[in-house]
Amino acid sequence: HVPRHIECFDISHGHGREVVASCVVFREGVPDKQSYRRFKMTHEQNDDFANMAEAVTRRYRRLRDEGKEFPNLVLIDGGLGQLHAAEAALKDLGLDHLELGSLAKKEELVFRPGSSEPLRIPKSSPVLQLLQRLRDEAHRFAITYHRNLRAKRTLQTELTTIPGIG
């Protein structure tokens, strides 16, 4: 079936600092920017797999607890490691029925749970182009948040630590 509601996750950090995740939402192939979410990870660590699991858990635990609509497809920016982390997170939440896939940047391969062979979608395919748009938008949204956090940290001086100044 055609996924009308797709959510895509990406992780961004600078050597394990200012670790953030993004979740972008497309409905009917169009960005739904009001539904975008960003997450500051609870532990600063250079572990994309753990961070991906945390982001997926936080997003879908909340949707589940609030009785909100789930996407038809969850797309992960990354390869098999990120996919397995997201798969484990969904399973822990009892949501392993959700369609899940990952898009690896280097060769633009699509990985699916339960299959060791990736899907090779032709580069001219509108399907691959939509998945790339989602992935690129998730990356843009995550890196923008990461850069904002990094800028706040690097603009600290002794004056900004004095209450009432800075």
CA-based nearest residue to 110, from 97, 123, 98 = 123
CB neighbourhood size of 37 (10 A): 16
Nearest to 139 by CA among 44, 70, 75: 75
Place of tokens 């280097």: 106
Q: What is the DSSP letter of 3?
A: -
Residue with tokens 């395919």: 125
Phi, psi of 125 (to 5 degrees): -70, 135
Tens digits of residue pLDDT in 66-118: 999 999 999 999 999 999 999 999 999 999 999 999 998 888 999 999 988 89
Give tens-digit pLDDT for 127-156: 999 999 999 999 999 888 767 766 666 556
* pLDDT of res. 142: 85
Asked whether 131 and 124 are in contact (CB, 8 A), the reply is no
Residue 31 CA neighbour count, 13 Å, CB half: 15
What pTM, to 2 d.p., does this model score? 0.86
Instruction: Tell me the three state secondary structure of residue 157.
Output: coil
Instruction: Report residue 134 CA to chain centroid gap.
Output: 10
Question: What residue has token string 């990354």?
Answer: 78
